Structures are given as C-alpha cells and as structure tokens.
Amino acid sequence: MSQEFEPTILAFVCNWCTYTAADLAGTSRMVQQPNLRLVRMMCTGMVDPKYIVKSLLSGADGVLVSGCHPGDCHYINGNYKARRRVKLLNEILPQFGIEKERVKLTWVGASEGNEFAATVNNFINEIRELGPMEARSMAVV
Amino acid sequence: MRKQYGALVVGAGIGGIRAALDLAVTGHKVALIDRRPSHGGILAQLDHQFPTDHCGMCRMLPLMSRDSSSQFCLRKGLFHDNIDIYLSTEVGEMEGEPGKYLVSLKRKSTLIDPTKCVSCGLCSEVCPVRVPSEFNAGLTERAAVYLPVPYAIPNHYVIDLDNCQRCWKCHEACPTGAIDFKFEERKDFHILVADRDPELAEFMRGELEEQNFPLHFAASGQEAVDALASDESFGLLMIGMNLNDMDAERLLTRSRELRPDLAVVVMADKGSEGAASDLVMQGAREYLVKPFKGKRFVAWLDKLYMRILSDTTEELEVGAVVLAGGFDCYSPAMDPEGGNDIWAYDHPGVLTAVEFERLMSGTGPTGGMLVRPGDGRPVKRIAWIQCVGSRDAQKNADFCSGICCMFSIKEALLAKRLTGGEVETSIFYMDMRASGKGYQRYRMNAEKEKGVRFVRSRPHTIMPMDDGHTLRLDYLSDAGELLSEEFDMVVLAAGARPPKETDRFALTMGVDLNQWGFVDTQPYSPEKTSKVGVFAAGAFGEPRDISESVIQAGAAAQAASRIIKAYDVLAGIETEPEPEYPDVSREPARTLVALCASCPTLEQAVDIETVSRRMGDVHSVCRVVPVGGACTPQGWKDIEEAALEFKPNRVLIGACMPYAYIPRLKELGRTIGLNPALMDVVDIYTASFNTACGIGDADCKEKAEKEVYSNLSTAVARLQGADPSGPAVTVDVARSALVVGGGLAGMTAAMAIADQGYGVCLVETEEALGGTAMRLHTQLDGSDPRKFMEELIAQVEKHPNIKVFTDSRVVLSRGSAGRFRSAIASPRGVFQLEHGVSVLATGGHEAKVYESGLCVHKTVMTHLALEEQLATGQLDAGAIKSVAMIQCWRNEGEERTFCSKVCCPEMLKNVLNLKQRNPDIDIYVFYRDIMTQGFLETYYTQARQAGAIFIRYDDETAPKVTFGEDHQPVIAGFDPILNRRIEIRPDILSLSSGIEPNDVEELQEVFDVAVDEDGFYQEADFKWRPVDFLKQGVFACGIGLAPRRMDETISSAKAAAQRALRILNAETIARETVVATVRHSLCSLCQACIAACPYGARVLDMDQEKIVVDEILCQGCGSCAAVCPNSATVLTGFHDAPMMSVIDAALEEPA
C-alpha cells in the first residue's frame, strides 16, 4: 500500500454518548486525525444501512458507527438495533466487493474521550492497512 | 427588583437536578444553585453506577416538551427554560414565610468573564500553583486557574482565589482578556482603618504601598463614624478592638447604619478571638488576628479586595425551598484519632472508593488504567474494606451509609472488566447490605459468575510491607484464626458524612439537624424539615443511593409544588407566550453564515478569510459575515444585525463551544422571527488545536481549514433539510387520575394529586382502605403508625376531589398518556372513567411460608403477628423467658433473590419492645445480614446493647426447627463465634418471611405494563426513572414496585404523583423539533415501525387505515425511520434526502 494514502472516515455517532465523547476528546485536545468526519445522529438505531453504503460509495474509506454501551441507550434499545443491522450489513458487503472491515460498530460512553480518540485512531490505521476502497471505482453510482 | 421563582433548589447534584426538573416540567420557575463551580455533584465524578454498571443519567431529561430542555448528556450540563442555574453561589440570608421566602444569594465571582473565556487553557499552563484536584479526588493536581470538570458545559476556566499566588501570569497569558483582577479599580478603593495603634498605621502604609489602596486612619471610633458619614467612597472598614471611646461592636453597628453594604473586617487581638467571631455573627465579614505578617497580610487584603469588588449578591423571592446538599465522603485523613495509622491512607496502595472510581475513569489520572496512582505499580490483588467511617459509634457515625456495599461490588466488577477478569478482588465486609431492587442478584452474580470474593470480617490493621509495595491485611476468620493476606491495593469504602459547613447552612436556613449532622426530617414525611416550606431532597436527610435520592427528590418537589399551589406563588405574573414563527418551508434555503473571527487562538491556526470565501461558494449560503467574538455581546449584536439585514431563513454560526449557544439561539429566534430549529452553531475552534503539528505550519493550516470547512458545509447541508416544526399540538388531557390500590402508597399519591385540584378515582380491591400498613402498631422512631393511617384514611374519604371505590377493580384501561379510558367493576356496577394518568399502587403482603410449624403451633408466629400480639396485649412479655427470631426465612430450597428490607427493622422493633417490657427476656436472632441502612443502624446498636444475641447463619448452617413438649420450638443452629453447634428452646419463635408483591397478573394486561422476575413492577429505569413505567402516563409506587418501609413508600408515592402532575398540568404541548411523522401515501402498513418503537408511540388506526404517531410519547429516536422499507416514516430534520446531502457534504473535498 502506498504510504501517502490517508483514508477518509465517516463516523455516525449518537447524540448522547459518542458525540459527547468526541466533543470531550476535542476539547481536551486529544490528537485526532483531521480526516475524520462526524455526523451526529440522535441514536445509532436510526442509522439506516443505506447511509452507510452511501457514505462508502461517496468517498468514505471506512464508516464508523458508534453509540452508547449496551444497556445504556438513551432510547432504551436503539444500539441493539444498530448492532443487528451492522452485523447483517457486514455479511452483505463482501458480496459487493467491499471488505466488511470497512464498517465498524463500537460503543463509546460519554465520559470516554480517550476511548473515542483511540477507537478512531485504531480504525484509521486498520483502513490505512486495507488501502483505498477499490469497489467504489467499479460501482455504477 | 427581586427575581421571582416558584422554588429555590440548593445543591445541583443528582437530587437537586431531579427536584428542579420535576418542578420545571410542571411549569414552575426554579433557581438551582450550587456552591461548587460545576453542576452534577458527586455524579460528575462517577462514570458507572450500580447495578447496571452504566450511566444513563440523560434518561432523567423531560420526555414531554423536550425542546425546552437540553438534549445532550446530562453529566455535561443542563439547560431548561424554567431553570436558572447559579454556580459558585451560596445562600447568604433567608427570611420570610412559606410561599414568600426572601433569599439573598452570595455569588462568588470566578474572576473570569465567561463571555470572554474561550477555554483555551493558556492561563492554566502558566499558573505556578499546584493543589490537589477536586475532580480527580486528589489523585492529580490542578492549577489555581482550572476547569472544574473537563466535560462540563459551559466549560469556562475559574480562578480559585484561595490558592492563588497573585503572580498575575494568567492575566498576562489570557488572549481574550477574560481574567479580571480589578487592577484599575484599586486606586479608588478607599480603606478606613479604625485603630488606636499608630504602629499599625505605619505597618500598613509600608506594606500596602505597592497596592495603591488609598488608606485612611481613624484613631477613635467617633473619628471613624464621622469619616463614614462624610465620605461615601469607602470600600472597606477595618475595626480594631482597642478603641477608647467606642467598642468594636458599637462601631460595627454604627457603620451598618450608615453604610449597610460596607464590608467590615475586625482586627482582633490575641485572646479576643471569641468576641471577634461574635462580631462576624453580627455582620462583619471576617476577623484577622494581630500581629499581621507582611506578605501574608497583603495577600489577604488583596484577595479580600478582589472578592468585595467582584462578588455579587442576587435577591430572590421564592415560594418554597428544596435542600439537596447531598453528602461528603468520609476522609480517612480527617480522622482526629489518627486514622492515617489504622488505614495507612498515605500509602500509595491505599485509596478511598471515590479515588478508585476516578482511577477507573477515562478522564482520571491514568486514563482508565488500573495501576497504583502513587507509584505506577501494577495491581494484581485488590481488597475493599467496608464501613470505613460508617457504623462506627466512636466516630459519631452510628449509622450505615447504605451505599458502600454496593459501590464496592461495582468497583470490583469494573476492575474485573478492565483487566479481563485477571485482577483478584476481595471485599471485606460486616453485613452485605444489598437491599435495593436487583441488588441481591447483582451481588450473587458478582460472587458466583464474576469471581469476586466476599470475606465476612473486619480487618483490624493494614500494614505496609517492608518492600514498600504491598500491604498486609490482618483479620480474624470466622473460626477465630488470625489470618494475614497481602494486597497491592486496598480500597477504603469511605461512607457518607454531612457536607462541610452544614451546621452553618442549617442556621442560615433555619432548619434543625439530627444528631449525626444531617438535616432532621419528620416521620412519615421524610421530605419535611423542621421549617415549613423548606424540604430535603436526595441524600441530605439521610445517606441514600441514586435511586432513593431521585425518589426523595421527587417527593421534595411534590411538597414544594404543594406550597407553590397553596400560596398561589407567582400568581398574576404573565409568562411569555410561545413565539410563532413564519413558515419558511416553501422558500428556497438562504443561509447566513456568521464566523467568529476575532479569537486569537483561532486566527493563528486558520485563515478565516479563506474559509469565508470557500463557504460563500456553498450551495444555499447567501452571505458569510465575519464577526468579532460571537460570544461577546457586541459580536452577538453583529449577528443579529446581519440576520435582520439579510433576512436569511437559516442561520449557521461558526464559533467555539456550540452547546453554550443553545439558550441564546432561542433568543435570537425571537428577535429575528426565525425558528431556532433552523439555526445551528458549529465548533470551528477545536479543529485549530486538533492537528499534531505546530502553529504556523502551512500544511497544518490547510488541514485545519479543511476540517473547519467540512464541519461548516456539513452543517449547512443539514440546515438546508431542517424541518421547521409545525404549530403546537393541542392535547386534550383528561384532568383526573386513576389510582389503583388504597393502601399507604395509593392514598398518599391520591392526596398529592387531589390537593393540586385534579380529580382522583381511588380503586381498592378490599372492603376498606389501609392495606398492609394497617398491620403495624409501633415504629422504631416511636411514632404511631395506626394514628397516622387512620388520619390519612379519614382525609382521603373526606377529600372533595377523591372518589373512593372499595371492593372494586379495574377491568379495562385503554388509551395513552393524557387520555385513558378505563372501566371499574364495583359491587354497584361497572363505571367508565376518562383520566389522564394512572398510578399503580397495588402493594404487597407478608410472604406465605408454611414451614417451621407456622400455622401449626401457637408458639410460632411471624414478626408482624408478634408485634400485633404485643400491641394488643394478647402476649404478655413478662411471662416469656426467651424468644428466638429467624431472619430471611424462606421455604426449604427457595432461593433468596431479593431483600424485603422491612424485616430487619421489624425484628429490631420487636426486640426493643420485648426488652423494654421485660429486660430479663433472652432474645436470640438468627440472621444472614442485618439490613439496617441509614439511621436505622442505631436501633441495631441499641438492640445489641439491650442484650439480644445475634447469631449469623449462612446456607450451610441455617437453623433447623423441631418441636418438643408443649409445642416448644427447638432450634438447632450453629454459632460462628463460639464455633460450635447450639440448641435453643425458646418460648416463642418469631419468623420473618419477607414481602411478596400482590399478584398483578390481571392488571399487567389491563395497563400493558411489565413486572420483573420477582413479581414487582418493572420501572422504566431503576435509577433515573424509578416511579415511571416505560409506558408513559402510567406510574407506580409503594411495595408493588419494590420492598419499602413506610416512609420510603410515602416518598415514592409523592414522587409518582409529581410525575403524574406533569401530564395533568399540560394544556398544549409544543411540537418537538425532532419527532417522527408518517407520509401516509408511501406507507404500506407493514407495521415494522410499531414493533421497532421502544415507547409504544405508534398504533395502527384500523378505521383510517393509517399508522398514527402519538407526539407525546414519541421521543425522536428514529428507530422507526430506519426500519421503514418505504421511507414512509421520517424523523424531522433527519429525512433521507438531507441525510444524503449531509453525507456528501461531509465527504466533499474542498477545492
């Protein structure tokens, strides 16, 4: 893989937990990669798989979905719904030539700013290893 | 003009927040104050709570009128239209009467202008001071200018003047000039010194030369009075106690007559401190003892000057006061008997529980790594020691803190989780008081599944080992052997103590304290203090865990709203009507982008002009205006003017700390006539320090600019698709309540609702009101429960707003919050009822256990029966020689999955009762764990002092009961202290069989609510919504919810009533910004959304063939939109099309 490849990551984060953690990571000046794009959702349970696919097709090299820890969802069970959805999506993606590693679901609680920074950095490293998304150039959009 | 509020809530911890929210959602204006510079109390420091090991505090936020409150993590901050929060604020004085208390608040200035501070942190970097950080419980250090909580909103630095060294470095470092030490005003601050001693004048002139304070000296009292009368420019009067013509008290009085607001300081001589402190009580600010030391005196005077000039007072008029002062944790270091030695607290391996909690936190000293904070050594074995500073009569703590057992289990589990189960955890305890709902299961899971070791013993010594690393714990085993074990870390489960300076606070508020220094409360009304109209919430009246604190806060809020209602507080004051905004949905989007351009730290990192130019090219952006400091009044005015000039229908502001703007956006909306839902604030500031490279690096600048641009353009795309919310939804609320269950809980809830003027139908299955509480004859605190119950029944029966149906049951209940239709079957026929809320208070009963000869032998009875027989005289205590009692009695083989909570107090009541009547009686109590939380502990102590013998048993050594001649019980047990088998032949055997909830299988179906595995009602959230069901509009209280004592039952009933009032008070409900709607033309009625909705907000209307969304119930989580196969269900603001453009904008590479 080329050394210069800088992946673009889109993160769908829930308003209650991970967005707060991202904000905390930002304000406590934990170094974050500038190639991360945050999209705040009310809940991970409202992340429609088509948003994830759309992101991958529109230029994201990896999509992170991050919400409250299991049992912690502000909306009772939205994160469980997200878990099921991402699991299914991960099974389908390879059929379209998209590595399932490009979509990741994590739980990051509101006070875990350091955890958020670490999660993002790890994910970016993983995607960097994986290289640019090749399926995009083949897909007819 | 005094600011008027319905209620003042003192203490912004969890209890205060809950009480404030409960009052605010029912429409009362609330002032919420805290003496700390941050909100959240101890919960700001705790990331996890038992028994879920999660947080979830945000679930306390209002479910209705969500837009009036903040919609983000509650630990970060809180906004509510009806709540004004004053931090760093204390109550100075309070006078008046219930319904009209005049309160003056002392607001300590942080010396940093919050409208200018951008939280860049440069001040903190240059500060030379290092003091223990409160947030990290002393494990880390902070500067004298610091952030109280790293994630709070709004997050401004504050100056801790007490620890400030006055080097002024922070003032020089601040890029925005936010720090104000009042340098300029010094030359106008005239100080009058009234003292006979000429040397003092000389000393002060010399020392204070640099400060530029104009000094004036008066050698006599009269001279000072004349000076005060003729000149009004004095800022401070210093009174010596050596004046010839006038004593200090007289001068103080005269000065207060002449200049009531003048700060007065007393200069006491050695030996006259007592008289000086009397003068402080009479209005002097403080006293200082001579002789003064040069440097220290100057520092003191300078700080006093800054306080006098910067601090402000706020005058309020409030209807009721809620005290939610919480508790302080016992510090082993403050033990006057040299606790350091016993607990080795100065050793790096010894932590208090709060310190351990911080250690486990991501924002803690190690970023959440389990190493010893002092020396960084790895941790393999941890011990928790319970009851440090609680249950200890020698330390004036003959009470149980009630929380430590549970938080220790939680901490052990967290440590296990963090290390993948590797760390060895041992909890040393006296009684494991896991008596709340689900706590026993939590404990069993910890022990059996997670491998937490529980050791019943109190270690008497912690010995640091010679290697300097490990600690040796010496303790006695059950068999009496002396055992030693080594640990890497010892956590002291330090209990709760009254907050610092509670005695002074109680004096100010005029309330009594109990013998342990907590606020004294009244029997059967644990929220009432000794002063009418002043209530105790949370853990201020007795140590409590979160769930109980929240319930207690609800009860206090209920009591406060009763006062507000009774005295008609704020009557005649018109509230601002909800503004109506023009509908812009048909107009093309025109976005005004305002960029904060003046911030120096931002300017260095980003070229605002480049960003502005790029933003100007973004679709729908009509104008980009750079403003100087959006956070300053001037900057805000610029934005307003730009908005008025360009008439945009979307406004986007690029600034720092977006959360802090939420209340201001609402104001802006009113000014320019645009719905705040069409405005947004984006953080363009964080990007400036996100990049790893140095300032001035061109590549770095470009990266930061890219990020800022991307954030802004994403927000523009989102705003473009924002739905302007529609008009307010009028809900036709049926203004009455249905209360099921006519016991203590049901009657209390009914009274609380009826007193607010709403009708109540009270349905009881039995022939008479009263329930289980009628079986009680005495109470431990000496009050008369019978009398209380009889009075309550009489009040309920006479109440004009309450209709009682006895011998009746609810057979049907349909509808949703605000409008239920129910049918009540009574002997007189079936009645139909429309009501807005339902309260389920179905209670419980004494569990039925048919063993050990109960119901066979007259000598065997339950605790309740023993109480009754003693009270009615059926049993003569004088004729009995010995009594045996067995706690936690269950059928053979039946597992004890929950604690009934009432049996131990019931047992103690019988023990003390018997001992009082016949001191010679022998009493043997077989127990597993004595559950006497809080101040009940003192009765346990009394029972032991009275000579009752307590014999512990566990599963293997459970006592066996057989019967001898004349039905005499023979109990074969095992005494762990004697370490031998024993046999007891008492005259009477009294058994505690515990509480079982009443059977509610039918009601469960009628009301569509859930019960837990033990048969108690399943609340929405055990900690944060303890009296709500998931189904809105239905509430639960009393024993039906969980085992409770009488006062706890009353609290839960009042809390439930307060929650119910929210719905009954609603006339119209404003449509929320984020709510789900259905586009019926696309809907195929597959009903997938109905299954997905966690709130039951969706139903299929069979007549109309439509999916209908209940806007009160919908919380806007968007689960329905994600499952809808046709995109027929959409969430306002999160439609597919705008979401797609948001994604595009986020991924767009700027040119």
Does the beta carbon of A39 lie under 8 angstroms from any beta carbon of chain B?
yes
Binary contact (B1143, A51; C-beta < 8 A):
yes
| CA-based nearest residue in chain A for residue B118 | A27
The residue of chain A nearest to residue B1024, with distances taken between CA atoms, is A74
Residues B297 and B409 in one domain: no
Size of interface A-B (CB pairs under 8 A): 157
Q: Give the model's pLDDT for residue B699.
A: 74
Question: Which of A9, A23, A28, A80 would you mutate first to test chain B, the one with the most B CBs within 10 A?
Answer: A23
pLDDT tens by residue, B298-341 = 999 999 999 999 999 999 999 999 999 999 998 887 665 554 55
Q: Do A10 and B692 touch (CB under 8 A)?
A: no
- B81 and B34 in one domain? yes
B666 in the same domain as B539: no
Q: Is the pLDDT of residue B423 over 70?
A: yes
Higher pLDDT, B965 or B900: B900
Task: Categorize the per-residue pLDDT at A25 as very low, low, confident or very high, splitting at 50, 70 and 90.
Answer: confident
Answer yes or no: is B137 within a domain: yes
Which of A10, A57, A73, A74 is the best mutation test for B, with the most CBs of B within 10 A? Answer: A74
The mean pLDDT value for B896-907 works out to 91
- What's the CATH number where B1103 sits? 3.30.70.20
Q: Are strands B591-596 and B650-655 parallel, antiparallel or unpaired?
A: parallel
Which residue, among A13, A16, A17, would best test binding to B if mutated, counting the most B CBs under 10 Å from its CB? A16
Measured between beta carbons, which residues in chain B are less than 8 angstroms from residue A42? 1074, 1116-1118, 1131, 1134
Does the pLDDT of residue A31 top 80, yes or no?
no
Secondary structure of residue B384 in the 3-state scheme:
strand
Whether B110 and B156 have beta carbons less than 8 Å apart is answered as yes
Q: CB within 8 A of B667, min separation 6: which ones?
A: none
Q: Output the DSSP codes for B277-333.
A: HHHHHTT--EEEESSPPHHHHHHHHHHHHHHHHH-EEEEEEEEEEEE----EE--GG
pLDDT for residue B893: 67
Instruction: Give the confidence band of A3 by pLDDT, cuts at 50, 70, 90.
Output: low
Task: Assess whether B323 and B337 both reside in one domain.
Answer: no
AA letter at B831: F
**Average pLDDT over every residue of B426-432:** 94
Sheet order of strands, B461-464 included:
B461-464, B471-476, B482-487
Burial (CB < 10 A; 0-12, 13-18, 19+), residue B382, is buried
Whether residues B335 and B469 fall in one domain: yes
B114 confidence band (pLDDT: 50, 70, 90)? confident
As separate numbers, helices (DSSP H) first and strands (DSSP E) second, chain A gives: 5, 4
CB contact under 8 A, B690 and A34: yes
In a domain, B1143, yes or no: no
**C-beta atoms of A77 and B1094 within 8 A:** yes
Instruction: Quote the DSSP letter at residue B749.
Output: H
Q: What is the per-residue pLDDT for B993?
A: 81
Structure token pair of residue B82: 């009806």
Range 316-375 of B in CB contact (< 8 A) with A:
361-363, 367-368
Task: Select from B691, B549, B632 the least CA-distant residue to A35.
Answer: B691
- Closest-CA residue to B567 (of B1142, B1151, B1133, B4): B4
Of B363, B370, B407, the closest CA to residue B385 belongs to B407
The domain that holds B778 is classified in CATH as 3.50.50.60
Q: Looking at chain B from residue 668 to 727, which residues have their Cβ under 8 Å from any Cβ of chain A?
A: 683, 686-687, 689-692, 703-704, 706-707, 710, 714
Residues B281 and B245 in one domain: yes
Domain boundary at B1068, B1085, B1108, which?
B1068
* Full domain range(s) for residue B243: 184-309
Tell whether B365 and B391 lie within a shared domain: yes
Q: Is the pLDDT of residue B818 over 90?
A: no
Q: What angle do CA B822, B825, B826 make, to 5 degrees?
A: 135
| CB-based contact, A114 to chain B, within 8 Å | yes
User: Which range is least confidently modeled, B120-129, B249-258, B390-399, B692-701?
Assistant: B692-701
Tens digits of residue pLDDT in B232-266 = 889 999 999 888 888 889 999 999 899 988 999 99
Asked if residue B580 has pLDDT above 60, the reply is yes
Query: By C-alpha distance, which of B811, B801, B824 is closest to B736?
Result: B801
Structure confidence at residue A1 as a pLDDT band (50, 70, 90) = very low
User: What average pLDDT does range B272-287 have in this prediction?
Assistant: 88
Residue B462 — φ and ψ, nearest 5°? -115, 120
Tell whether B1058 is covered by a domain: yes
Confidence check: pLDDT of B572 > 70: no
- List B residues 272-301 in contact with A (Cβ-Cβ < 8 A): none
C-alpha R_g of chain A? 14
Write the pLDDT tens digit of every residue in B995-1011: 999 999 999 999 999 99
Residue B235 placed within a domain = yes
With 70 as the cut, is the pLDDT of residue A140 above it? no
Give the span between the Cα atoms of B933 and B543, in whole angstroms.
Answer: 8
Q: What is the CATH number of the domain that holds B291?
A: 3.40.50.2300
pLDDT value at B891 more than 80: no
Q: Tell whether the model's pLDDT for residue B696 goes beyond 90.
A: no
Whether B1147 is in a domain gets the answer no
pLDDT digits (tens, 9 = 90+) for A80-92: 999 999 999 999 9
- pLDDT of B1121 reads 93
Residues B161 and B250 in one domain: no
Q: Name the residue with higher pLDDT: A70 or B334.
A: A70
- Cβ of A51 within 8 Å of Cβ of B1139? The answer is yes
For residue A2, the model assigns a pLDDT of 44
B962 and B923 share one domain? yes
B112 assigned to some structural domain: no
Q: Tokens in use for B36?
A: 């700390």
Same-domain pairing of B147 and B158: yes
User: Could you give the count of Cα atoms lying within 13 Å of B612 in the half-sphere of its Cβ?
Assistant: 14
- The pLDDT assigned to B922 comes to 95
pLDDT value for B389: 86
Residue numbers of A between 41 and 80 with CB closer than 8 Å to B? 41-43, 45-48, 50-51, 54-55, 58-60, 68-69, 71-72, 74-78
Q: What is the CATH number of the domain that holds B674?
A: 3.40.50
Q: Which of B337-346, B647-656, B1062-1071 has the highest mean pLDDT?
A: B647-656
Beta bridge partners of B835: B820
- Res. B853: pLDDT tops 90: no
- Cβ contacts of B356 within 8 Å, gap of 6 or more: B411, B491
How many domains are there within chain B?
8
- What ipTM was assigned to the predicted interfaces of this complex? 0.94
In the predicted structure, residue B726 carries a pLDDT above the cut 70: no
pLDDT at B1049 over 90: yes
For residue B1008, give the DSSP letter.
Answer: T
Please say whether the dihedral angle defined by the alpha carbons of residues B364, B366, B370 and B372, taken in this order, is positive or negative. negative
Domain end: B496, B514, B548, which one?
Answer: B496
The amino acid present at B1033, given as its one-letter code, is G
Instruction: Give start and end residues of each alpha helix (H) in B208-247.
Output: 221-230
**Rg (alpha carbons) of chain B, rounded to whole number:** 33
Distances (CA, A) of B700 to A24, A93, B1146: 22, 35, 19
Which pLDDT belongs to residue B693? Answer: 53
Last residue of a domain, one of B250, B275, B309: B309
Query: Tokens representing B251?
Result: 């001068």
Query: Is B627 a domain residue?
Result: yes
In a domain, B726, yes or no: no
Of A20, A46, A69, the CB nearest to B1119: A46
Most A-contacting residue of B153, B662, B690 (CB-CB within 10 A), to test interface: B690
Distance of alpha carbon B1049 from alpha carbon B1039, whole angstroms: 7
Residue B373's pLDDT is what? 87
Contacts of residue B605, defined as CB under 8 A and 6 or more positions apart, other chains included, come to B687, B688, B689, B691, B695, B700, B701, B704
Q: What is the pLDDT of residue B725?
A: 60
| Disruptive mutation site among B45, B73, B601 for chain A (greatest number of A CBs within 10 Å) | B73
- Whether residue B300 is found in the same domain as residue B342: no
Which alpha helices (DSSP H) does B659-784 contain, by range?
Answer: 662-672, 698-720, 744-754
CA distance B1122 to B909: 57
Q: Does B75 touch chain A (CB under 8 A)?
A: yes
**Is some CB atom of chain A closer than 8 A to the CB atom of B933?**
no
Q: Where are the alpha helices (DSSP H) in B647-697?
A: 662-672
Model confidence at B701, pLDDT cuts 50, 70, 90, reads confident
B1143 to A8: CB separation less than 8 angstroms, yes or no: no
> What pLDDT is attached to residue B334?
66
Flag whether residue B1143 sits within 8 Å of chain A, measured between CB atoms: yes
**Is the pLDDT reported for residue B1069 higher than 70?**
no
Say whether B54 and A72 touch across the interface (CB within 8 A). yes
Are B475 and B516 in a shared domain? Answer: no
Q: What per-residue confidence (pLDDT) applies to B628?
A: 81
Domains of chain A: 9-138 (3.40.50)
**Mean pLDDT across chain B, nearest whole number?**
90
Backbone angles phi, psi at B159, to 5 degrees: -105, 130
CB within 8 Å of B581: residues ≥ 6 apart: B669, B673, B674, B675, B724
Residue B911 has a pLDDT of: 96
Residue B939 has pLDDT above 90, yes or no: yes
Q: Which of B714, B1094, B1140 sits opposite A54 (nearest CB)?
A: B1140
Higher-confidence residue of B959 and B605: namely B959
Q: Do B368 and A114 touch (CB under 8 A)?
A: yes
B949-970 confidence digits (pLDDT tens): 999 998 888 899 999 888 899 9
Whether residue B155 has pLDDT greater than 50: yes
3-state secondary structure of B864: helix
